[in-house]
Amino acid sequence: MLRTAGLCYRHAANCLAQTRAAGVRAVHCGSVDLHTNVDPTSAQVSWADTRAALCESFGGELPEHATEATIVEVFERFPLGVLRLAEEIATAKSAGKIRSGWAVLRSRLPAAEPIANPVVSIATRRAERIRVIEQYIANAGHTIDRESELLDDLYGERGRLREYRDDDTLRERLLELWRKTQPARHQLEREANEREANYRRLDPLRRRAPRAEAV
């Protein structure tokens, strides 16, 4: 494990996440700064710090120029992938299972690169799902009699928004939208009752008289 500089995969991942969330300018992992000049929108990991940590974790071994250049090329694109591999290799080297940490790291670099790099916007997906639900409530909310029925439809075992069930603000927003549809439901019920009453008043015999059989 990259103990001295604290650049093991788990520490680096945590530090990157903290930096993106807080927008801080320096994050401490272990005994040294992981990075000291951070863009709030994109966390950075210094190769110089990483190299120093790797050298110590590999027992003082220094990389050959060509080996380091190859590793840096991948590190620039997939730093956490390289760090993950480096942690595994450092553990193996400390256990005496390998001789050259740098050579093994270079040979395993393909594992640091994902086979594909699709970009999926979670925020866009969430917004689209909520938009569809809001449209559904606006158009058909008057057919839902009870609040509990709506909540079960949205957040129940098979609810369409069950993964957002802890979002109280969203829940209240959707309930408020549903409440606005209830006057329409009551109006439709009154109109239906009035039609039924008029039908019974104007044609009482039709309801009771048996239908004539066809000859």
Three-state secondary structure call for residue 49: helix
- Quick check: 111 and 74 in contact, CB under 8 A? no
CB 89 within 8 A of CB 2: no
Mapping DSSP onto H, E and C, the string for 92-144 reads HHHCCCCCCHHHHHHHCHHHHCCCCCCCCCHHHHHHHHHHHHHHHHHHHHHHC
Q: Could you tell me if 82 and 107 are in contact, meaning their C-beta atoms sit under 8 angstroms apart?
A: no
Query: Would you give per-residue pLDDT tens digits along the chain (215 residues)?
Result: 444 334 444 444 454 444 444 443 333 333 333 333 334 344 678 899 999 999 999 999 999 999 999 999 999 988 989 999 999 999 999 999 999 999 999 999 998 888 777 777 777 888 999 999 999 999 888 888 889 999 999 999 889 899 999 999 999 999 999 998 888 767 767 777 777 777 777 765 555 555 555 44
Backbone angles phi, psi at 191, to 5 degrees: -65, -40
Q: What pLDDT score does 132 carry?
A: 94
**Global pTM?**
0.41
Backbone angles phi, psi at 48, to 5 degrees: -60, -45
What integer pLDDT is reported at residue 36 of this predicted model?
31
pLDDT of 1: 43
Chain center to CA of 39: 22
